[in-house]
A and B are shown apart, each in its own frame.
Chain A
Amino acid sequence: MLNRRSFGVGIAAALFAFGTLAGPAMAATARVAVAANFTAAAKEIGTAFQKQSGDTIDFSFGSTGQLYNQISNGAPFDVFLAADTKRPKMALDQGYAVKGTDFTYAIGQIVLYSTDADLVKGKQTLTKADFDKIAIANPKTAPYGTAAVQAMKAMGVYASLKPKVVQGNNIAQTFQFVESGNAALGFVAFSEVAQSEKGSRWVVPSDTYDPIRQNAVILKNGKGNAVAKAFVDFLKGPQAARIIKKYGYATAKGN
């Protein structure tokens, strides 16, 4: 027992010493808060960035609203990759972010998706409405949900579909509802189905909803952090753009 305990104390002491010695010298890392829908793309971009620069990025994933609340309550993030333009703007207005650093890093697209290979054929699937439940993300909290409602309204099917709508708390949960078969189909992010071929899908025409601009901003906490700055520059670069497109987003320059 004693041995084990002193061993534990030793480890703690070593970690402490390492932390205090290495802490200030090794600031070659940045903390980035990322909207959940961008998880897979962010990880790949992070890996590419690390390979190029040798610096590391610590990602925290969550819903844009929750991340914003954490930031406004002092969470130590350097960069904020939101799923909308509203929260980065709020961060700027409230003084949590560095002025002039916000930009659109990705533009999301919505897809009507079902695991059933024969269900989704296009707009007629929505007008015929031969299904029980259709899943969308919560339009109040998730931009992908807002876009889904806009698209249904533009296609004139919202009133008739409304009683069949179930809401996922975010776009990831909406995808779970469809993927588990509980909802026959749903409006999900293109990024969630871009890597697979299964089921049936229809890319919703982008003129039926406002572009889902996902904005990023450097936070006050990351103002003097060179890695944060380098990461943001990397995110704007061609290598990141390739990854972003691979995951089913458009980029701001439209190419």
Chain B
Amino acid sequence: MEGLSPEVWIAVRLTVELASITTLLLLVLATPLAWWLARSDAWWKEVVAAVVALPLVLPPTVLGFYFLVALGPGGPGGWLAGLWGGRTLAFTFEGLVAGSVVYSMPFVVQPIRNAFEAMGERPMEVAATLRASPWRAFWTVALPLARPGLLTGAVLGFAHTVGEFGVVLMIGGNIPGETKVLSVAIYDFVETQQWHETNVIAGGMVVFGFLAVFAMMLAEKRMRPAGA
């Protein structure tokens, strides 16, 4: 790790912060959404599911473009920023969080929804006959049963946010300590032919990606009840 400039470490810290906050927000938002998608009988729920899944298939440049417009003075982001005298949410850490939440949402919703669906109606019915309120049954029965899905969602959401590039590039403005995350830093190093830094960070990302996926698989295997 010798010879790496401080800007690399600033980027590492920023990336971890961004991914952590995004993952927490995603768990809070995605869990009820996944629950509704798993349980609802509404005919249009697959429409909602498709909209949530859109970032999987859209090029990051499309998302980045819409974010740039939405975060700017003419969009909701600019209105929000106006509350504290700002002009835009682009070029801010908060803007990146907003973008990342949308961008990584499908990676979190899908595993949790699968977990809720795999569980079936039965556990909740049993809990109801034992006079547990739906709210209590959700916390004490459904969530623990869905643990592997929650874990998978959290790891994927975190890793995918770390790996995010196109959207950040388009709305970030490359500000050290604010929006210059690792993937953008690598891009700069490649553009300026700084191969040492490029190799170290790129190698580190590969190792991190492998560990994340591998740990997730191990944990999932251990947690999954026998026969499920």
A interface list, Cβ under 8 A from B? 63, 65-66, 68-69, 132-133, 135, 138, 140-141, 165-169, 173, 176-177, 180-184
Binary per-residue interface labels of chain B (60-78) against chain A in the complex, 1 for a CB within 8 Å, 0 otherwise:
0000000011011110001
Which one of A138, A166, A168, A176 lies within 8 Å of B188 (CB-CB)? A138
CB nearest neighbor in A for B78:
A181
The verdict on A135 contacting B173 (CB below 8 Å), with A65-B192, A141-B191, A181-B88 known, is yes
Q: Which residues of A lie under 8 Å from residue B174 when comparing CB positions?
A: 138, 166-169
Complex: how many Å from CA A141 to CA B191?
Answer: 6
Chain B residue numbers with a CB within 8 Å of A135 are 173
Cα A108 to Cα B72 in complex, Å, equals 29
A166 touches B175 (CB 8 A): yes
Q: Looking at the complex, which one of B78, B88, B173 makes contact with A167 (CB distance below 8 Å)?
A: B173
Residues of B participating in the A interface, judged by any CB pair closer than 8 Å: 68-69, 71-74, 78, 86-88, 90-91, 169-171, 173-175, 187-188, 190-193
Q: Which of A68, A169, A182 contacts B90 (CB 8 A)?
A: A182
Show 26 A/B contacts (Cβ-Cβ < 8 Å), sorted by A: A63-B191, A65-B192, A69-B190, A69-B193, A133-B87, A133-B91, A133-B173, A135-B173, A141-B192, A166-B173, A166-B174, A169-B174, A173-B169, A176-B68, A177-B90, A177-B173, A180-B68, A180-B69, A181-B73, A181-B78, A181-B87, A182-B71, A182-B72, A182-B73, A182-B88, A184-B87
Report Cα–Cα, A168/B188, bound state, in Å: 11
User: CA–CA, A69 to B174, complex, Å?
Assistant: 21
- B181, chain A: closest CB distance, angstroms: 13
